[in-house]
Amino acid sequence: MILIKGGRLVLPEGIMEADLLIEGEKIAKIGKPLSPKKAQVINASGRLVFPGAIDAHVHFRDPEDTTKEDFSTGSASALAGGVTTVIDMPNYRNPPTTTIAAYNQKRIIAATKARCDYQLRFGGSEKNAEEAARSGAPSLKIFLSETRSELTVSHSAAVQHFATFPAHKPVCVHAEDKERIENRRKRFKLQSEIQDKLSAQLACEFSLREAAKLNRRVHICHLTTGLEIEMCRRYKNATYEITPSHLFLSTADLKRLGQLGRINPPLRDKAEQAALWRNLGKDTIIASDHAPHLITHKLDGAPGFPGVGTIFPLLLDAASKRRIRACDIARWCAENPAGAFYLKNKGRLAEGFDADLVIVNMKKKWKITAENRLSKCGWTPFEGKEIVGKIEKVFLRGKLAFDGEIVLSKPGMGRELL
């Protein structure tokens, strides 16, 4: 037994001063005071105790390109950042996760390497709707924009996936309009102009409209404009996510980042960045879209940022500045993704739930560096940023997984969530 004593428990509805008792893998009791015999006592006085974060959008690259990341390094970065569960995206190639054989191969690899809990997402292609539907995967990912791989789907193939994949399971959409982007590529040079906000809004509108016709679940990935959020809120079966990259960075940062600043969808201007902040609400999910590339690949134009290790710390810093509340973080990064992706007994500090929790000292300052974020890709767009809110301990199903300095969870300790 482990007793977390004297902490302030962060729930979506507010903060509760209470003790928390862990028995085995579960939260056994919450109350004040608790004093069971023979329990290991951890003093959390003056600390916030959060549910472990759930990052619903990561690319851990295994087995596609493990020079950039793999399940071991990616999940280590997750735990160091307070993330206890991740949902890994389908690989684009080598092999693409568009067959049951490739999906099962990833399951075997993740089972031996993952240090945190995880779920895997199947990939939709132009011709695999029936195979995707019988894969048994908890969710499906489709791309409406060019990926230079078989994961790009036409509108007709997207509709087929919407109709075929089980309606209660989310179809997750990378929503950018391929045809508009290709036409603009002939006239513009800047990525933010080629992949403009209308290309995202058109694809979002298409996805929501077609999903509504079938009364099915749909999840729109990495929204970058306030209008897209408003669209999602009009459809009862839609969920959506926003990335910290688009909340904390804008086109104003491209001068500093140069080629490192390329991401899909691209960074928007400060007006759209502000619109995202204004539209954060009770239905928001924040996910990193952790897409690690080596710097050499970034200089060659590869799009994507590492982010699984910074999603929770950046939000803690925002809470320290009173831009958001601590209970918002618990809702956006734990309860909402757990609900959207059917992660049973995850996402909340409650009796009977998995003992995934993060103890945070909100008085401590520290700096984000690539070294302390642990990703194999070796860089972060937030290098050197000083923030407030130090993660001191992370528990995964009742076991200490990160002690504030070292990841203690070993490869293979993560569990697949179906």
Based on the fold, state whether residues 333 and 394 are members of the same structural domain.
no
Provide the domain count of the chain: 2
Based on the fold, state whether residues 31 and 88 are members of the same structural domain.
no
Q: How far, in Å, CA of 184 to CA of 196, rounded?
A: 9
Based on the fold, state whether residues 333 and 198 are members of the same structural domain.
yes
Domain for residue 252, yes or no? yes
Based on the fold, state whether residues 368 and 382 are members of the same structural domain.
yes
Question: What is the extent of the structural domain holding 286?
Answer: 52-340
Q: What is the pLDDT of residue 222?
A: 98
Q: What is the pLDDT of residue 220?
A: 98
Q: What is the pLDDT of residue 415?
A: 98
Backbone angles phi, psi at 49, to 5 degrees: -115, 110
Based on the fold, state whether residues 161 and 301 are members of the same structural domain.
yes
Based on the fold, state whether residues 66 and 41 are members of the same structural domain.
no
Domain for residue 260, yes or no? yes
Query: One of 19, 62, 196, 289 is an active-site residue; which one?
Result: 289
CATH number of the domain encompassing residue 388: 2.30.40.10
Based on the fold, state whether residues 277 and 314 are members of the same structural domain.
yes
Specify whether 253 is catalytic.
no
74-128 confidence digits (pLDDT tens): 999 999 999 999 999 999 999 999 999 999 999 999 999 999 999 999 999 999 9
Domain for residue 214, yes or no? yes
Residue 297's nearest CA partner among 215, 188, 377 is 377
Domain for residue 347, yes or no? no
pTM flag (> 0.75): yes
Domain for residue 256, yes or no? yes
Domain for residue 363, yes or no? yes
Torsion of CA 275, 280, 283, 289, to 10 degrees: 80
Q: What is the pLDDT of residue 37?
A: 86
Residues of the chain under the 70 pLDDT cut: none
Q: How far, in Å, CA of 144 to CA of 182, rounded?
A: 12
CATH number of the domain encompassing residue 149: 3.20.20.140
Based on the fold, state whether residues 10 and 102 are members of the same structural domain.
no
Domain for residue 418, yes or no? no
Based on the fold, state whether residues 283 and 331 are members of the same structural domain.
yes
Based on the fold, state whether residues 292 and 384 are members of the same structural domain.
no
Based on the fold, state whether residues 152 and 208 are members of the same structural domain.
yes
Based on the fold, state whether residues 304 and 275 are members of the same structural domain.
yes
Backbone angles phi, psi at 141, to 5 degrees: -120, 130
Domain for residue 415, yes or no? no
321-371 confidence digits (pLDDT tens): 999 999 999 999 999 999 999 999 999 999 999 999 999 999 999 999 999
